[in-house]
Structure 1
């Protein structure tokens, strides 16, 4: 008996008109699992090929990978179907019509070829995802139902119409889930899902096509009859194993090809990425110098296009002067197969397309294969590196304000002069009045004053006369001459040029100087001796009066003897416990409450008695003793802060004066961290005070060290502001929290003098504009305290509130003050 209607060789019926006698089937779980595994394998290979189609730039390679991927998916899904049919056992021998069996490959092959190129992309719109889902579902469904129509056996079958429709809808939904899931996994934020997206997508795709098959199998009913008998060539069910085996072998062959292509593409991608990302240019050059390959980086370095490079000889990149040398090296390599330059990095000039010569680092390495040889050439543009090196050289060797050589360059040049001349003069010059100019006008005027002095002195420079600038107004000449008359002539001309002073903004600013002269070899045989002795001579000149100069006298005078004594005794001061700290309180300008103290060093020696810090600190700086002394100050200052904390005080900082040498030699951070750790102290209780002299040494590490101090939570203060270099640029460039107005501004301050008060007011406003706290030192009267409070100065320090005192006295003062 026949049930239902025939459409395209398949019979369909509703659930109310089904045969009463039917065959019951069962599945082999092993074959079901095998069908899923084949679908999984095919999906993984297909997705790999799909990705290769988007990565490869060659049309042939893209078409090849698209066809391989389509074939892998089609054969895998087709094999899954027939393995699934073998897994379903109804107790009868079933054959398959060969023509329909082969025809069932067509729909899945077409849909695979259409869908795979889209799946290879990293992103797709929802419209494309839905379209791909429909095409893939039609392909799988078409393959399935043509495959069902290929059944040839003495049996009848009918499909339940509702389940048939459901199987098609399920096919579309499952295909959408798999394809949409692929793009969600590729772009997933979780690195594990994103990294393994291809594997998870393969599992989704395999699950969807396998599920489509087994859902569709639920729509078919086998019953006794002969509707499935097919004429023509049939293949027995047990012979389908052979066909499936061939299909699997084909699939494995595709896997091997795709795996090889994947590895080749990955290698090509790595090489391409290296050559694209690398700023180093690369080229392959034959033994005639013809460029066989050039990277994009090389094109950017040379200014030529890739096409121009590939059609040219390497000579176009070589300046005329080194072409012959380059050809010589190549001939040497060809003749003896060895060269001193092969594999070595060399710095030479390269000629760009615009004829500009740029510095490069080049490495040439030969590769021999058979009788052929090519040269792998790497070219690195050194333009930026050389520019940075030059900028670093300028910072380290030239004064930032005037552009004149600094002390470091002076010593280098002096050493060179000593090697090439029999007699030299080292002249140390010091100019006056900068502090008065800063007070009377402004810091920019002070800067202009320094610059014009530099320009004036620069006019004396020639091949035998070298000028250096260090400090604010300290300069030096090295003069190669065998006549003292040349020094006298220089001083005479300098006096004449200083008589008119310096003109700035129509104002004539007075200019006076003192100079000291040391002669080589009479006054020293090395740079250090000559520099020291010229400074000693300059000190004698200052005692003689302005606009004078003095020669160094070799006998030791009283001043020099005291300096020697101080340095000698200072070397043993720490071990003898002769150094101590005193603390001068700082108060809030409004409440007069205690908010901190500045640690000040004192020294009393059994031989010299009390020695003022203004006398021994410069000697400690010059001799290097400031390093251990500075470390001791940090340790004792942190200890005092710990003591204050232990006694219940919390809202305070202990200010520590730090030498420029400690910052420049990169030891300040190490000592601070050690002391903070030793006393279990937070960095916020410590304030590091540096002076403007720190920025005159030309060190490139200052900004790094100051930032590091901030990182450990300590605060930064600029001390003695207005008495040194007079440039405000570093107030903006460095992370200062506090600006300390030097006591010389405050002690002599006449609050009725508009010029004097205007200068203080300008400093306070400038500090506030830069979000800095303002500390005024040297406050000795109520009148000064009230004025500074009104002007917005937050912190006051001076004898009006308290003198510097030892630790016990400070604690007593705090009790009384509370």
Structure 2
């Protein structure tokens, strides 16, 4: 057997070439994966396969040049060319496999195996180019090991490079260098293991022997390969950077478009997108003669929750509501957020208005399930207004406006319900706008006034206090009922300033009574839900009383039971703060708000005012009505509260209430709401009666 020797400088060079070729291939694969165009991907695949194949083949050729025998050696040009083609072909297959959109484990293993087989095929074809006579003898065990080394190391390299994904660029480059070194070891390890498996008989000669200087050929091959791989790497890096910049610009544009068309908090379509979809649906519906519906929703009581729990909790509620709403509608429907707590649903292709009603009922039913925010259970339900195309409008703007109008009717109808748009609602909407305008100017121009409805003792009929009632008279609209303008003031928020005006005017009236020498009595003032939401309500009231020089003992605030129980814990805190500052509190319309006994104990208010519905029941239902009122009076007395019966209009009602021990009576039977001048006369009469009683008592005592 011929003794073999190696030029170790060329051995090291072959490893460096293999590693550079591997790194170039891995870098190219990531670049090609990011390309979108089919033609450009294919062009880079071919070019990359050529560069990778030349690199691998050059390593083999340099390794062969590093190998020497004590006989002249040469390589057949055609066979050597075949080995180069094999290297390029298998490189193409490997690059194609690892640049697919979904790189599965099976595809990764197949690519690694192909690489190992390709390296082996190239190597043994290159060995055949020596045209040895007699033929090279191979150790089968070492030959098998060489192939296994090539396949195993190639799989490990690809696994390191692709399986452990990362968004960190430094981590990607580090892994890629490590994978390239492993792949370089695979190529060179397979080569030199196969050379170890090769045995050359002592009489062997190379049929392709030539007089070429192998050292010069090795240097030329190394330089040529380094140039090809370096140019390929630079081009891929340059194009990758250009594509990255283009991709960044494209992503930025996409984000800008998304921000302009979708709500940032919930991810739902915004107003602009909704309007475009409604317009598109109108065109299709006209063509196909279909109907569709618009749901306009506003969350009931959201502002109070947002103010009490904070904006982060409010945002969480809006997000949760949006997700629930998406689950309520069909896949083809559109759910949008207009802003604040306003949501709109576009229900496409409806069979009938009844289908819209069923959907609305389904939404309300599902939304009644409590939300858990910050470990607190909340119920957030919407009021829904519905408009139908084409009967309620043929443009997106009109349909949305009419659905909004119907939504306000739903709120007026008790909230947590739905209403279909009706033409008469537009008249109501116009009326609402007129009243809002009137309310805006009423305080400045003096259109508001107060009247006073007296309250009397139940046992002796003496005047004990009065309730201040707001009235509004406009030169053009005439007298406006409180039932008409107060809900509008409540919704618009104007009730807050109106409420402060009432307190100021009551204080001034008390000062007038004092200046006229009339007896001072306690005045009850109603507090609205919007006022109770104000965090500085108590301090503002104290400031008003301080400026008007009126004592807080002269004022009683009335809170309706329904409002008190909306957020009972917060109401209790507000009541206690009022009481600390010597204000008295009454629960108005008692019996309609489903109070719990526990909260009545916590409230510790001065009075309970029985709702007029139960007072009417004293005549209408007799025994049953009397039983209910009697139970309320006993409950209040047990809790050390006074009871006021409002809406007393008949002698029989008065007689029954006196028998039950009702503390105070209020109603048209004993006294209607009076203007300030008329009420002054009542106070004067009360004063004269007291004086007469005092004189009579004095005479009796003297004579006796």
**TM-score normalized by structure 2?**
0.45
**TM-score normalized by structure 1?**
0.39
